[in-house]
Chains A and B, each alone.
Chain A
């Protein structure tokens, strides 16, 4: 089973890369781009048929490794 995870910076945490991407887009004439926040995306192939169990395991992975909860939030999608 494939589980997808999105890790994003928490609101209020400075994202200098996102800012640089936004400024570049503005410079490419995408002048209406007001903000860009960059994040990470994971596809995890897990040998488990029970979706609830798989998601619960992936949640554990998020807390322990995939996200740093000081600055990041995760979403299992």
Chain B
């Protein structure tokens, strides 16, 4: 049934009409880049981003934990991006985080296995009604993931779509098209399923891919993948979307995700595992006169093959029914006070990484940005607190965290 769904989604994508949508950080939001070379109809745009902040974690009154590694300076971005467009309608992009590359090289990719340093490396053809992209880039899944955090007052994505539950990038093929006077926008794609760990491990032993599909409806106009209403929309605009993804990573005899690709499962063990995974959800955004409100929800059904898999938390099959549920929701509200060069953001999320463990986690985020030149030169302040701590799956040693820093996009 699931395979049929994925197949129908892909066929529907191929069969449809016009194409145009971008969620690449530097193609979709061209204000990010300010240098372009052109020659005989071909262009090459060079851009990048540098940012860093000072952070302080407010530690709990706990004499057994006094580490202050999160009290000090942090480099957020040192990114370079090359975006080329040819006269015969090919687009190619290479986007690298030099900070992440350096960290991966120095630590053997153990410092942040979900941040290998390559953010985009793809070729796209735009000459047909359906745009075709081959390579490594963001997946068309989750509004929050597809939107750039640098274009908001926040310093990081919400936990829900930040990469702990599902991958945000992968290598594969993406089809994209618009139809019914551009009101609808659809994506379908097939990927390695290894997400950001593709560079570390390549394909897994199952020999099967992950399938992703997304359909959006916008009115009265297309809505860009930026969560702040920088356009100060003169009339209300909104977008609603539904998306789903499916992967069967059941391992053949003699293979194991845990031993062969130990970084792939992620902090909660749900990103990639021996078994089947179906994720689905929806999101929405509305913008009007500087205000924007966002909502996003995700459900995941995980079916680990081995009944002794740690995801079952030792529960009996009669209780777990061979299914682990995961997911959460995220709500946001933002105000872009353009005349004062300011943007305010508020976000609340709830996350349950595994329903067979007791507890959920809730987070509240507050952020402010003073925009000296839009988000290309901006001072950002973010404060977040755990409203509800999930002591079973994500015990915390702090009660809040403050980040203050500066960002330059060129």
Note whether A and B form a binding pair. no
